[in-house]
Amino acid sequence: MKNTLLSINDIIYRVCIGIAGFAVLIMTLIIPWGIFARYVLGTGSSWPEPVAILLMVVFTFFGAAASYRAGAHMAVSMAVDRMPLHLRKLAAVLVQVLMAVVALFMIVKGFKLCATTWNQFLGEIPSLRVGISYLPIPLGGIVTLIFILERVFLGDQSHRAVMHFDVVEESEGAA
């Protein structure tokens, strides 16, 4: 059961990295187009900046979830490192509880924000609903909560190699 859950979370982790990476890639293509259109063609396009901002939101929330699982998130542990072992363990539990509270806040308030703004449309991109532009907030919160629960119940996975689909497990008789 544990290996199945870890495999599912490995897939979710890779999807988060893929989404964040794709968002950055598209941003790097859109921003130069906006500059080219404004300064070379002399006609500024209205869509590159808002699309780049939306992609930055996508990158931020999905990248943060992946970063949390990988243990690459920002952590200031100077004070915790100087605590006795029992207090360090208590601080680690407190951090996970606070992270879960933040993730739940993102989920609940993010979905409320999406629902509240669903019938509004972006001025620069009239075909895009504002509620859709806020969707990365609750979705990122869900993924972050999944990774928090993984850390609480299955342990820290940041030092474990992510399993790949094409990995063949060694047979029990191999030396």
Residue 109 has pLDDT above 60, yes or no: yes
- d(CA 156, CA 175) in angstroms, rounded, equals 28
Q: Is residue 91 over pLDDT 50?
A: yes
C-alpha distances in angstroms, 44 versus 31, 35, 54, 117?
12, 8, 19, 28
Q: Tens digit of pLDDT for each residue in 68-88?
A: 999 887 777 788 888 899 999
Q: Per-residue pLDDT tens for 132-169?
A: 999 999 999 999 999 999 999 998 887 777 665 554 44
**Side chain identity at 30, as an amino acid letter?**
I
Residue 175 CB-density burial (10 A; 0-12 exposed, 13-18 middle, 19+ buried):
exposed
Rounded Cα–Cα distance for residues 118 and 5 (Å): 34
pLDDT surpassing 60 at residue 170 = no
pLDDT of residue 172 exceeding 50, the answer is no
The model carries a pTM of 0.84
